[in-house]
Amino acid sequence: MSQHTPMYRMSTLMKYPELEAFTAQKKAGSTSAYFELLATFLDILPDLTENLRAPAEDDDYWEFYIFTKKVEEIQKQLIGIGAPALLWEAEKLAELAEAKDVRTCAEATESFILQLKTLSVKIDLAKVTPSISKVFAKTASTPPLPDAPYTTRRPWDGKERPKTQLKFATVEKLGLLIENFEMDEALEMLNKLMEYSYDSSIDSAFNTIYYHLTHFNYDHADSELANLSELTQALDSLKESKTMQVKSDKKKILAVDDVPDVLNTVKSVLKEKYAVYGVTNHLDALRFLTNNHADLILLDIEMPDMNGFALLNLIRKIDAYSTTPVLFITSNVTPENLKKVRRDNASSFLRKPINRQLLLEKTEKYLEVKPNP
């Protein structure tokens, strides 16, 4: 990572409820790529919000159009940094403008700008100065040194460690802590991990990482960090090991319905062939979709706060879901709703109560999975 590239304390960012920082950086492809998105967000946010003026009653159609376009541009940035809560606030602004609810839109715009500025301050506070080695040489406390070389036993208690499996997400988080110079947190996490034994390769890697952490020389932080990065990358290469968590190759389905019984029905029908995830509100749906992947989406039409058509409109703004098949689930099959299903680029709909066989058939159709003979 370049000395001029902004760096952040990931552990600090992960504490902010507006952000899904850990999952967002995974989606970005790397920690450095996510940091670049954060830096871009901070750079362009003043320009995006400076002229974000809510339309007035005497404004023409063009002013409303420009306003919604500005909101959409902010939404793109919020998708990139993993901010589903603020993404939803932006969508509400666009709806108020479309409905020409001028007074409420003006109030909501001021509140939204304040929320964006608050988040930008939090992100800025999480920055780590580029002159890493100088800062940490002065401020970092030296961790205690190990008493003896590591074996398959913990050197300070001599007890055998129980065998367990290691989740790959845990390795990623450990790498993030080290990359962000959160050495105390990394040591604390490693101590907990080393309560258990995995396989010889993983145990050896953990022992070596622990040794380097406890001997970390902050006067030579760059080279020390490079050594630790190599070690964590070596752990990353073990993700296909039988001791690591096996990722499911099943296609993913997200079901959104405010009635838990409906979600239970969907899961019971589809869980054998697919990885099914259920959420009961629009915010959790956005949080899942901005930080994960879904091959098919099942949407209830009538839900509190935000109906299925409004939610689909927002989902389609996320590039990854512009053509993802969507099935509406509803007991209110009216000509008007059928027109909206076609208008909003949905695939089809299912009536409530759900017919199990029909649900399975339609799912197989849109996921191109042949039914069993």
Q: What is the pLDDT of residues 250-308, one digit of tens each?
A: 889 999 998 888 898 999 999 888 989 888 888 888 878 877 789 999 999 888 778 88
Instruction: Indicate if the pLDDT at residue 151 is higher than 90.
Output: no
For residues 123 and 162, state if they share a domain.
no
> Is residue 95 situated within a structural domain?
yes
CATH code where residue 74 lies = 1.20.120
- Rounded CA separation 159/243 (Å): 21
Judging by DSSP bridges, how do beta strands 7-8 and 127-128 pair with one another?
antiparallel
For residues 259 and 361, state if they share a domain.
yes
Q: Which domain holds residue 193?
A: 132-240
Q: What's the mean pLDDT when you consider all of the chain? A: 76
Question: Across the strands, what pairs with 351?
Answer: 330
Q: Per residue, what are the HEC states of 296-341?
A: EEEEECCCCCCCHHHHHHHHCCCHHHCCCCEEEEECCCCHHHHHHH
For residues 284 and 196, state if they share a domain.
no
For residues 16 and 67, state if they share a domain.
yes
For residues 288 and 320, state if they share a domain.
yes
> Is residue 245 situated within a structural domain?
no
Angle formed by the axes of helices 61-81 and 21-28, to 10°? 90
Question: What is the average pLDDT across 23-44?
Answer: 84
- Rounded CA separation 271/249 (Å): 13
Of 89, 112, 128, which marks where a domain is finished?
128
For residues 137 and 111, state if they share a domain.
no
Total number of domains constituting the chain:
3
Residue of higher predicted confidence among 20 and 336 = 20
Extract the tokens encoding 268: 């019971």
pLDDT tens figures, 203-236: 777 888 888 888 777 667 777 777 787 777 766 6
> Is residue 185 situated within a structural domain?
yes
Question: What is the average pLDDT across 15-25?
Answer: 83
Q: CB–CB of 106/67 below 8 Å?
A: no
Instruction: Indicate if the pLDDT at residue 60 is higher than 80.
Output: no
